[in-house]
Structure 1
Amino acid sequence: MPEYTAPLRDMRFLLNEVFDAPSMWAENARLAEVVDTETADAILEEAGKIAGAVLAPINREGDEVGSKWNDGKVTAPPGFKEAYQTYSEGGWGGLGGNPEFGGMGMPKMLVGQVEEMIQGSNISFGLAPMLTAGACLSLNAHGSQELKEKYLPNMYSGQWAGAMDLTEPHCGTDLGIIRTKAEPNADGSYNISGTKIFITWGEHDMAENIIHLVLAKLPDAPAGPKGISLFLVPKILVNEDGSLGEENTLGCGSIEHKMGIKASATCVMNYDGAKGWLIGDENKGLNAMFTMMNYERVAVGIQGLGVAENSYQNAVTYANDRLQSRAPTGKVAPEKTADPIIVHPDVRRMLMTMRANTEGSRAFSMYASKWLDLSKFSDDVETKKYAETMVSLLTPVVKSFLTDLALESAVAGQQVFGGHGFIREWGQEQHVRDLRITQIYEGTNGIQSLDLIARKIAANGGAFYKIYAEEIAQYCASQEGNPAMAEFITPLKAAVANLTELTDWIMLQAQTNANELGASSVEYLQVFGYVSFAYMYAMMAEKALEKEGSEPYYANKLATARFFTKRLLPRYLSLSASVKGGSECLYEMTADQF
C-alpha cells in the first residue's frame, strides 16, 4: 500500500530559516499571542501524524468505493466519517479561524503546511475542511455579527461543515449570467431558488449540518456580475437557541461520476424556496466571494503540491527497490541480479524533476502565504498595501503554476513505476487522476494566466510586476559580495531581465492586437513561475550554504537547487520564444476549418 510521510524537515527549514516566520510572528501583537516556534512545531508534528496514520490509509479505498448517493442523501466512503470526527476533535477545522468565534487564529504560513499534509495524504478528504474554511472566511469578513455568532463556532469545530455554491449548469467562469433567484421575506430572510452544480461536499453524512454559501440574484438586481448577492443557506435550519430545527427546502439531486477525487461528493444542489440570509451588502456578492478566493486559490496550489509530494515519496521508494539492468558505469549492487533503477540517468532525471518541483512549490506557496499574513495582520499601512499588491500579483501564479507542475510530477512518478504505475494498487495512477482537477476548479489555469497578464500586469501598466522585479533585484544586489552564490544569482538575474523584456513586449503588442494577451498568457505565466522558483531556490541555497556540512539535508538542498537551475530554469527560454511567436498563427483558420 502507498504510504505518506509528512515532509516536516523541509517545512521547518522554510518557516524558520528561509522566511524566519517566528520573527514576523513575534513582531505582531495578534500573532504573538497565538503562535511561536514551539507551538508551530507541535502543530506540524500532530498534523503529520493525522495525515500519515489516519488519512493516508483510507485514501485508496475511498477512491475505489467513492461517495454514494441514494434518494438525495450522500454517504461518504468507509472511514471518512470517523476520520472527520478525529480531525474535528483535534480542533483542526478552526486552525486559521477567528479566535472571537472559537478559531485558533493561526497564520497562513503555518496553516498552509497543515493543508499540504492533509491534501497530500488524502485530497478527497481534504476538500471537506478546505471548503468549510473558505465559507468561514467569507462569513467572517462580510457576515453580520448575528450570523457569525450563530454559525462560525460550530463550523470551526467541525460540528457543521460548509460548502461554496457558485457554478450553474449554463455558467462557470461567467458568473454574471447566473439564474438562481433570491426573493426577500418580511422577516429579513430570503427564499432561494435555482440549481447549482459542481458543489464539492455539498451533501454528506460526516457533519450534522452543512452551511451553503450561495450566489443568487435579487428581483431588481442589475444585469451582470454587479447584480450578484451572497446568501447563507443551511441544510438544516437553526433555531434561535442554536439547536437544529427543520430541514431546509434544498437537496442533492445527484453526484457526478468523475475522473478523480472520487471519494469526494461533487453535487448537483437544487434550491426550492430554501430559506437563506444575506451576507454583506445586496449586489456585492462577488466582493464577499473574492475575500476567500486568494486563500482558496493558494490552497489549490498547495493541494497540487501535497499530492505531488506523495507521488514523489512512493516513486523514490520504488526506484530504490525495483531491480532492472545495470548502471551505465558498472555494477552498483553486484550481490544482486540487477541494480535498483535509481542508478539510471533517466530515472534520476524524473525523480530530481519531481523533487525540484515540490520543494520549489513549497517555498513559493509559503512566500505567497507570507504576503497573505501581512495583508491580514500587519498594522502598518504601507506594509499592508504592499502585501495586498503582492497577493494580487502572485495568487494566480501559485494556483496555476503549482498545479501544472504537480501533474507533471505525478506523471513522472507514474513513469518511474513503469507498467506498475498503470496498475491501481500502486496508487500512482490515482495521483494523476486526482491532480487533474486542480488545474480546472477555483478558476481554470487558463483563466488564472489571463488574470495575471491582463488584470494584474497590463491593466496597471506593469506596476505590480515592477514592484516584484525590484524586490528580486534588491535580493540579488545583497548577494554581490557572496561568490558562493554566483551560480544561483547570475542565472536568476538573466531570467528576470528576460521576464521584464517579455512583459514589456507583450504590453506593447497588446496595444494594437487585442488577441495578444490571451495568446501569450499561459506561456507567460510559466515563465513568471520559473523565474519565481529561481528566486526561491536562491534564497534556499543561501541558507543551505551557511550550514553546508552540518547535516546531509543542506547538501541535498543545494543539489536540488543546482538541478533546478541547470535543468529546469532554462525552460523559460523556449517559453519566451513561444510567446513571441505571436497570436496571428492562432487565427489563420476560420472556426469551421477546425
Structure 2
Amino acid sequence: MNYTPPIREMQFVLHEVLDAAGTLQGGGIDIDRDTIDGVIEGAGDFCARVLDPINAVGDREGCRLVGDTVVTPPGFKKAYDQYVVGGWPAVDCEVEHGGGGMPSTVGSVIKEMLAASNPSWSLYTSLSAGTYWCLNVNASDALKRRYLPQLASGKWTGTMCLTEPHCGTDLGLLTTRAVPADDGSYLISGTKMFISSGEHDLAENIVHLVLARTPDAPKGTRGISLFAVSKHTVGSDGAVGDRNGVYCDSIESKMGLHGSSTCVLRFENAVGHLVGEVNMGLAAMFVMMNSARLGTGVQALGMNERANQKATAYARERIQSRAPESLRTPNQAADSIIDQPDVRRMLLTQKAWVGGSRLFLYWLALQVDLRKSSSDPAIREYAEDMLSLLTPVAKAFVSDRAVESASLGMQVHGGAGYIIDYGAEQILRDARILPIYEGTNGVQSHDLLQRKVLNDGGRRLKQLLEMVSNYAHTLEGREEMDLFRVALITLAGEIDTLTTDLARWAQDDDLRVGTSAVDFLNLVGYYVFAYFWARAADTVVQLGDQATDLHKQQLAVARYYFDKLLPDTLSLLVRARSDTAILMDDAAIAF
C-alpha cells in the first residue's frame, strides 16, 4: 500500500474547525487559505512520490558506518537533494535567512506527511529545524550569520547532543568539557550517545548543539553551557574547511528507524562557540527540546495515519469468513473483514486517535505562531501558557496512542501483520521509540503534574478547563450536541476535584506525584481530545444537509470516541487516587 497524504482531512481541521487562516491573520501573519493549501499539496506530492517509495528500502538496508562516515540507505541522498532543490527546508524559516516565512502551522502539516511517508528520513530534517530555531532565539548575531542561512537552505543539517553513556535524562551528571581558547572559541571534549542524524552523507556539514561544562562551572544543571560545534570548521567567509574534532565511533543497531543514523559521537578538542550565556545552556536548549517534543507528537501523528491507512486498505481487501448479517456480499462465500465488528473497533480506534491528534497538534501549532507574532500581549501570554501546559501531553499522550494504533494495525492484518513483506510490523517497530526519546513519557507525566500544574497552583490547568467548559456551555439547548456537552462538563469537574486532592496529598506524600502522574497526563489527554472532537462534531452538525461524506465520517468518529474511548477516563480517575504504599511495597519485587 502506498501512503496517500490525507489532504482533505487536513483541510477540514485547518480551515473548517480551527479557521487557521483567520486565526493567523488575526495574529499578524499575512496568509490565506489558498496559500496554505498550495504549500501542503506540493509537500504531499513530494512525500508520496519521492519519500514513500524508499521507506521500506531504508528499513531493509539501514545505515552503514564506513570509517567515520555514515552512508545512508539507497535513495536517501537523492531524495534529500530534491528536498533542498524544492526549497522545503526553508518553508517556515525566517525570510532574512533565505526562508519562506511561512507559519509554524504549515510547517507542522508538512512534518506530519514527512513522518508518515518515511519516518527515518524525516529525522534528518526535523532536528535541523530544531537547531535552526534554537540558534535563532539564543545565538549571537555573528553565529546567526554563520549558521542560519545554511540550515534554512538545507545545505547543512543540525543535531542536539545531550545524552552521555553514564547518564540519560539526568543532565546534571554530564561531564563533556568546554575549555576556553584564546580566540573566544571553546575546545569541546567528551562523548555523546543516542545522537539522531549525528553523522550522515546527505549534507556537506552538520551543526551539533552540544551541552558541556566550562572548567569552573558549578555542579548539576546550573553548570551547563550550550555550544555550536560543526562537523567541519567554518571560515569567517562561511566556507567549509577541514574536519573538526567530531567523530562517529559507532551507530546503534536499533529495533526500528533503521534508515536514521543514531550515533555515538566523540568530541576531541572540537572547536565550538558559546550559544547564549555561560552556565545557561539548559535554558537555551529547552527551545530545541520543547520543539522536539512537539515534533515527536507530529511524528506520532504521521505514523498513526500510515498505520490506519494500511490497516483500512487491508481490511477492505481481505476476504475471510462470513460477517454478521453478510453486510456487503450476501451471495458470496466470505466477506471483507472490515464488516467484522471487532475489526471495525480497531479501525475506528485508530481513526479516533489520528483525528484527535491532528486537531490537537494543529491547534498547538497555531499557538506557536500566535506566541511569536501576535501584537496582543494577552494572546501571546495565553498561547505561552497553553504550550507550556500541553507540550508534555502532545509528546506523551499522542506517542502512546501511535504505538497503540500501530499495534492495532498489525492485529487487523492478522498473521500477515507479523510478516515483513506487508509493512505493518515496520510501523510498530518505528513508532516504539516515540514514548522513549525526547524525555520518556514518564518524565513528561511528572513534568505536567508537578511543574506545570501543582507548582503554579493549577493556574494554567484552570485556563484549559475554563476554555473547554465555556465552549461546552455554548452547546446548551442543542439536543444533537448533548452527548458532547454533558461529557465535557462532567469530566472538567472530575479533573478539577482530582487536582485539588492530589495537591493536598502531595504536601505530605513525596511519592504521590510519581504514583499518579501517568494516569493524570492520560486523563488530560483524553479530555483535550474530547474537546477537539466535540468541536469537529459541532462543525459538521452546523453544516446540516451540506455535509459531505467526509464530514459525516468525522461526526461518526467523534461519536465513537465519546461512546467507546472516553469512558476509559473512569479507570484513570480511580487509578490516579491509588495508594502510593501499594505501588512502592518492596515485597512485590524483592524475591
Q: Output the TM-score relative to the length of structure 1.
A: 0.98
Please list, as runs of the form range in 1=range in 2, the aligned pairs for 1:141-156 lying within 5 A after superposition: 141-156=137-152
Match of residue 77 from structure 1: 73
Kindly state the Cα deviation for residue 500 of structure 1 after the two structures are TM-superposed. 1.3
Unpaired runs of at least 5, structure 1: none
Kindly state the Cα deviation for residue 568 of structure 1 after the two structures are TM-superposed. 0.2
Unpaired runs of at least 5, structure 2: none
SS at structure 2 position matched to 1:112: helix
Kindly state the Cα deviation for residue 130 of structure 1 after the two structures are TM-superposed. 0.3
SS at structure 1 position matched to 2:206: strand
SS at structure 2 position matched to 1:457: helix
CA contact (8 A) 1:250 1:270 kept: yes
User: Would you say 1:552 and 2:540 are equivalent positions?
Assistant: no
Instruction: Tell me the alpha carbon deviations over residues 205-243 of structure 1, each in whole angstroms, 9 at most, x when there is no partner.
Output: 000111111110000111111111110101011112221
SS at structure 1 position matched to 2:330: coil
Equivalent position to 1:580, from 566, 577, 580: 577
Instruction: Tell me the alpha carbon deviations over residues 33-89 of structure 1, each in whole angstroms, 9 at most, x when there is no partner.
Output: xx3211111111011111111111100110000011121110000000011111111
Given residue 454 of structure 2, which amino acid in structure 1 is its aligned partner?
A
Counterparts of 1:337 and 1:154 in 2: how far apart (Å)? 61
CA contact (8 A) 1:167 1:196 kept: yes
Match of residue 26 from structure 2: 27
Match of residue 480 from structure 1: 476
Match of residue 528 from structure 1: 524
Counterparts of 2:403 and 2:293 in 1: how far apart (Å)? 16
Match of residue 565 from structure 2: 568
SS at structure 2 position matched to 1:371: helix
CA contact (8 A) 1:294 1:391 kept: no
Counterparts of 1:104 and 1:218 in 2: how far apart (Å)? 37
SS at structure 2 position matched to 1:437: coil
Counterparts of 1:587 and 1:305 in 2: how far apart (Å)? 34
User: Would you say 1:408 and 2:407 are equivalent positions?
Assistant: no
Kindly state the Cα deviation for residue 485 of structure 1 after the two structures are TM-superposed. 1.3
Kindly state the Cα deviation for residue 549 of structure 1 after the two structures are TM-superposed. 3.4
SS at structure 1 position matched to 2:210: strand
Equivalent position to 2:258, from 262, 270, 294: 262
Larger mean Cα displacement after TM superposition, 178-187 or 102-111: 102-111
Kindly state the Cα deviation for residue 19 of structure 1 after the two structures are TM-superposed. 1.1
CA contact (8 A) 2:24 2:370 kept: no
Equivalent position to 2:300, from 304, 316, 321: 304
Kindly state the Cα deviation for residue 482 of structure 1 after the two structures are TM-superposed. 2.6
Please list, as runs of the form range in 1=range in 2, the aligned pairs for 1:101-180 lying within 5 A after superposition: 101-180=97-176
CA contact (8 A) 1:98 1:140 kept: no
Instruction: Tell me the alpha carbon deviations over residues 2-46 of structure 1, each in whole angstroms, 9 at most, x when there is no partner.
Output: 3101111111111111111111222333x21xx321111111101
- C-alpha change, 1:111 and 1:178, in structure 2 (3 Å) is same
Larger mean Cα displacement after TM superposition, 105-114 or 507-516: 105-114
Counterparts of 1:267 and 1:421 in 2: how far apart (Å)? 30
Match of residue 14 from structure 2: 15
Counterparts of 1:385 and 1:5 in 2: how far apart (Å)? 38
Percent identity over the alignment? Answer: 45
Please list, as runs of the form range in 1=range in 2, the aligned pairs for 1:54-65 lying within 5 A after superposition: 54-65=50-61
CA contact (8 A) 1:549 1:555 kept: no
Counterparts of 2:358 and 2:244 in 1: how far apart (Å)? 41
CA contact (8 A) 1:213 1:232 kept: yes
SS at structure 2 position matched to 1:593: coil
User: Would you say 1:356 and 2:352 are equivalent positions?
Assistant: yes
Kindly state the Cα deviation for residue 548 of structure 1 after the two structures are TM-superposed. 3.8
Counterparts of 2:32 and 2:168 in 1: how far apart (Å)? 41
Instruction: Tell me the alpha carbon deviations over residues 318-360 of structure 1, each in whole angstroms, 9 at most, x when there is no partner.
Output: 0000001111113631343310000100000000000001000
Match of residue 228 from structure 2: 232
Q: CA RMSD in A?
A: 1.2
Counterparts of 1:570 and 1:246 in 2: how far apart (Å)? 60
CA contact (8 A) 1:323 1:337 kept: no
Match of residue 421 from structure 2: 425
- C-alpha change, 1:226 and 1:77, in structure 2 (3 Å) is same
User: Would you say 1:513 and 2:512 are equivalent positions?
Assistant: no
Counterparts of 2:579 and 2:10 in 1: how far apart (Å)? 41
SS at structure 2 position matched to 1:338: coil
CA contact (8 A) 1:135 1:162 kept: yes
CA contact (8 A) 1:548 1:555 kept: no
- C-alpha change, 1:389 and 1:437, in structure 2 (3 Å) is same
Kindly state the Cα deviation for residue 498 of structure 1 after the two structures are TM-superposed. 1.4
Kindly state the Cα deviation for residue 197 of structure 1 after the two structures are TM-superposed. 0.1
Larger mean Cα displacement after TM superposition, 118-127 or 86-95: 86-95
SS at structure 1 position matched to 2:133: helix
User: Would you say 1:317 and 2:316 are equivalent positions?
Assistant: no
CA contact (8 A) 1:307 1:406 kept: yes
Kindly state the Cα deviation for residue 573 of structure 1 after the two structures are TM-superposed. 0.2
SS at structure 1 position matched to 2:437: coil
Kindly state the Cα deviation for residue 94 of structure 1 after the two structures are TM-superposed. 1.6
User: Would you say 1:445 and 2:444 are equivalent positions?
Assistant: no
Counterparts of 1:69 and 1:591 in 2: how far apart (Å)? 44
SS at structure 1 position matched to 2:65: strand
Given residue 558 of structure 1, which amino acid in structure 2 is its aligned partner?
L
CA contact (8 A) 1:311 1:410 kept: yes
Match of residue 87 from structure 1: 83
CA contact (8 A) 2:177 2:189 kept: yes
Given residue 428 of structure 1, which amino acid in structure 2 is its aligned partner?
A
Counterparts of 1:332 and 1:144 in 2: how far apart (Å)? 65
CA contact (8 A) 2:163 2:194 kept: yes
Instruction: Tell me the alpha carbon deviations over residues 524-569 of structure 1, each in whole angstroms, 9 at most, x when there is no partner.
Output: 1111111111100111111111224321111111100000000000
CA contact (8 A) 1:530 1:572 kept: yes
CA contact (8 A) 1:215 1:229 kept: yes
CA contact (8 A) 1:136 1:152 kept: yes
User: Would you say 1:497 and 2:493 are equivalent positions?
Assistant: yes
Given residue 457 of structure 2, which amino acid in structure 1 is its aligned partner?
G
Counterparts of 2:494 and 2:416 in 1: how far apart (Å)? 41
Equivalent position to 2:274, from 273, 278, 281: 278
CA contact (8 A) 2:27 2:370 kept: no
Give the paired residue count: 590
SS at structure 1 position matched to 2:326: coil
Instruction: Tell me the alpha carbon deviations over residues 80-112 of structure 1, each in whole angstroms, 9 at most, x when there is no partner.
Output: 001111111111112221221112222222211
SS at structure 2 position matched to 1:547: helix
Counterparts of 1:445 and 1:90 in 2: how far apart (Å)? 35
Given residue 21 of structure 1, which amino acid in structure 2 is its aligned partner?
A
Match of residue 202 from structure 1: 198
User: Would you say 1:464 and 2:463 are equivalent positions?
Assistant: no
Counterparts of 1:3 and 1:523 in 2: how far apart (Å)? 36
Equivalent position to 1:385, from 381, 386, 401: 381
Counterparts of 2:25 and 2:509 in 1: how far apart (Å)? 50
CA contact (8 A) 1:249 1:271 kept: yes
- C-alpha change, 1:286 and 1:331, in structure 2 (3 Å) is closer
CA contact (8 A) 1:87 1:93 kept: yes
Instruction: Tell me the alpha carbon deviations over residues 92-141 of structure 1, each in whole angstroms, 9 at most, x when there is no partner.
Output: 11222122111222222221111100001111011011000011111000
Counterparts of 2:587 and 2:189 in 1: how far apart (Å)? 41
Counterparts of 2:579 and 2:499 in 1: how far apart (Å)? 13
Kindly state the Cα deviation for residue 201 of structure 1 after the two structures are TM-superposed. 0.7
CA contact (8 A) 2:24 2:366 kept: no
